[in-house]
Structures are given as C-alpha cells and as structure tokens.
Amino acid sequence: MREDVTVLRPIDSFHQDPIGDWVADLRCGHGQHVRHRPPFWERPWVLTAEGRDGKLGAELPCVLCERFELPAGHAPYKRTREFDEHSIPSGLLKDHSTAAGVWGVIHVIAGRLRYIVESPLARELVLDETHDGIVVPEVLHRVAPEGSVRFFVEFHRKP
Ligand SMILES: [Zn+2]
C-alpha cells in the first residue's frame, strides 16, 4: 500500500467480482478489492458475513479518488446553467464541496478557468475547452475566472 495516499473512504457494502473475489464498495463510488490471499494479503475477515459486517464504515485509502477518476457506471443526472466571469455564483468562488457520492465535471466552453482543489488532493489546474475539471466528492475546491470564460458543471452519481 502506498503511504502517500491520503483520501480515506468508508466502506458502504461489499460485492463479489465475477471470479468470487470480494470488493469493498466505497462511499465515493469506487470499488476496491479486499482479497484474502496469504501470505500477501491477510484478510481472513472477508470470508465471513460477520467479518465483512464488522468492517462496514471502516475507511480505506482510495487511489482512484486521488487520481480524479470518475467511477465506472456513474452517469450525469443534472447540470448547472452556463456561467461567465460576471454571472459565476459567489459560492463557486469560495471553498465548497459536493455531497458523498456526487461527482462533478466542470466543462469550459470558452476561455480559461482556474480550478483550485484543497487538501488532501491539493492541486491547482487551469481548465479550458479541452481540459475538464473532475470534482471529487467531499473534497473542498473553488474556481477563479482567468479573464473571460464560459462554463457549466455537470453532476454524476450512481444511477
Ligand atoms: Zn474513490
């Protein structure tokens, strides 16, 4: 396990993959294998329903969140109207975050938009027509127009 991963996500449930290995369903929408394969992975608890129940709510580091990866199977369900540098809601200029399991995609139609992501991801990006911004659930972030810009935000979740 990498030590620099700092995005921790609680386990909401478990399912088995097609070959029967157990996968933890994390609240962010990502799945993570929790295999019992001694001597490499020692997780005897995963083999019993009791053991798995005991791990519900436990947090695992999520590398996919750290990589700003939209979970597979998530779909857009709403979007904001289009904003420009004058109509951008003040809430978007201040640190804010989406709810658990809600991902966002910031689409820039024209111009440039600075996208600042706070700890634990701590990233600063400049978005444009060819670079969307992925909004990771429950991670504080804000945007700042770089001159004239037009953009909207699309929200994704598990259907
Ligand atoms: Zn995740």
Superfamily for domain range 75-157? Jelly Rolls (2.60.120.10)
Every domain of the chain with CATH number 2.60.120.10 lies at 75-157
Q: What is the pLDDT of residues 72-96, one digit of tens each?
A: 999 999 999 999 999 999 999 999 9
Is 74 exposed, middle or buried, given 0-12, 13-18 or 19+ CB atoms closer than 10 A? middle
Supply the pLDDT for residue 74: 95
- Low-confidence residues in the chain, pLDDT < 70: 1-5
Ligand 1 centre to CA of 64 (Å) is 5
Bridge partner residues of 135 (DSSP): 104
pLDDT of residue 6: 83
Position 111 scores a pLDDT of: 98
Query: For strand 8-16 and strand 103-117, is the pairing parallel, antiparallel, or unpaired?
Result: unpaired
Note residues around ion ligand 1 (Cβ under 5 angstroms): 28, 30, 62, 64-65
Q: What is the 3-state secondary structure (H, E, C) of 30-76?
A: CEEECCCECCCECCHHHHCHHHHHHHCCCEEECHHHHCCCCCCCCEE
Cα-to-centroid distance, 66 and ligand 1 (Å): 7
Phi, psi of 125 (to 5 degrees): -130, 155
From the CA of 133, how far away is ligand 1's center (Å)? 16
- C-alpha 139/C-alpha 99 separation (Å) is 9
* pTM (2 d.p.): 0.90
Indicate the pairing of strand 31-33 with strand 22-26.
antiparallel
DSSP assignment string, 67-114: TTPPPTT-EEEEE---EETTT--HHHHS-B-PPTT-EEEEEEEEEEEE
Of all residues in the chain, what percent carry a pLDDT higher than 70? 97
